Amino acid sequence: MPKTLDSTPDAIDRVSPVAEIDAPPAHPAGASSGATAVARAEKITVVTIAAKYRRGEPISMLTAYDYPMARLVDQAGVDIILVGDSLAMVVLGHADTLSVTMDEMLHHARAVRRGAERAFLVGDMPFMSYQADAHEAVRNAGRFLQEAGMAAVKLEGGRAVARTVRAIARAGIPVQGHIGLAPQSVHAMGGFKVQGRTQLAATRLLDDALALEAAGCFSIVLEGIPDRLAAYITARLHIPTIGIGAGAGVSGQVLVLHDILGLSSRQRPRFAAQYADLGAAIRDAATTYHDDVTHRRFPTHSHAYSMPDEEWAEFCRLNDGDRMKG
């Protein structure tokens, strides 16, 4: 019975909560090509990011939504972990990002915080947590820091949210802007479409970027815009731009973790490189497990717990005695 198992000393071998960073990889073939895991390194802050930007070093950013993934991404040395509202689509199975709530974002942000020791952590402000009222926006931004241990927040929009960005930044909360393809405006954009392809739209995006910088953003995500426009905006700013579908002329790159791992059920966008096919690996593993259980190949003796012979003999004696009495 599981309860009895949990109380045996053997049960402690199930999970080891200690850091396994120095342990050899469980599956050496899964090691990435030449990538070096960061064992112990300095905590990344806004100051570190600004310094990297000034040195012209690319800044890496990835999303994560839970403890194990945050731990691995952190160990890989990624500079910024974004608890993105893409959570709604890639983890919670919604068609867009609109329905994820503040409480759901905080729940996942807390898990990420527990997994990440070193990366700079950004909480993505979900739809309607900042649009209606600047005071409410400051309070919600504060919740990401106070209740989930994030170091900064990100929000979508340009000039329209500049006042809100200023208010949050004045509260001492680093803010990352996000312009171009803004998924929370999917209905206003008429779908997930590349932005800034006309002279007028490009000019508006430049104005948005300048307004966000003036309002106090420490960085701006440029999503789904032509590469030369992204490079131009980057050259006009004095804060780092982080591109996603914005070409190479930006200060850093961000991608959705599930896209790069092959875990996304949505069609992978053209800009999202895939670095692993964990979807296939997980499906294969689950299929093999199912077959092993079905054909009684699992569990084997090595997966079972033992009991001292004398205890078993006593158990049988008492129970056989009971049976005889019955």
CB of 86 to ligand KIV, least distance (A): 3
Whole-number Å distance between alpha carbons of 161 and 173: 15
Q: Is 244 in the site for ligand KIV (CB under 6 A)?
A: yes
Cα atoms found within 13 Å of the Cα of residue 99, Cβ hemisphere only: 9
* Residue nearer to ligand KIV on the CB measure, 37 or 92: 92
Beta bridge partners of 209: none
Beta bridge partners of 127: none
* Residue nearer to ligand KIV on the CB measure, 74 or 223: 223
CB 237 within 8 A of CB 255: no
CB 74 within 8 A of CB 81: yes
Tokens 């440029």, residue located: 222
**Catalytic annotation on 147?**
no
Among 105, 229, 254, 261, which residue interacts with ligand KIV (rule: CB under 6 A)? Answer: 254
DSSP state of 27: S
Q: Is 221 in the site for ligand KIV (CB under 6 A)?
A: yes
Residues 261-320 that bind ligand KIV (CB under 6 A): none
Q: Is 112 in the site for ligand KIV (CB under 6 A)?
A: no
Residues 125-164 that bind ligand KIV (CB under 6 A): none
CA distances from 28 to 175, 192, 232, 301 (A): 39, 38, 42, 26
CB of 124 to ligand KIV, least distance (A): 5
The interface mask with ligand KIV, positions 173-202, x = CB under 6 A, is: -----x------------------------
Nearest residue to ligand KIV on Cβ basis: 84
Which helix (H) or strand (E) covers residue 180, if one does? strand 175-180
| Closest CA relative to residue 164, chosen from 185, 133, 195 | 133
Among 52, 59, 70, 84, which residue interacts with ligand KIV (rule: CB under 6 A)? Answer: 84
Single out the segment in contact with ligand KIV by CB under 6 A; choices: 84-92, 98-106, 298-306, 313-321: 84-92
- Contacts of 201-204 with CB under 8 Å at 24 or more apart are 202/226, 202/229, 204/158
Q: Is 256 in the site for ligand KIV (CB under 6 A)?
A: yes
| Closest CA relative to residue 110, chosen from 136, 154, 78, 146 | 146
Single out the segment in contact with ligand KIV by CB under 6 A; choices: 81-89, 226-234, 287-295, 296-304: 81-89
* Residue nearer to ligand KIV on the CB measure, 128 or 307: 128
CB 84 within 8 A of CB 127: no
Residue numbers annotated as active site: 223
Q: Under the rule (CB under 6 A), what is the footprint of ligand KIV? A: 63, 82, 84-86, 124, 178, 221, 223, 244, 254, 256
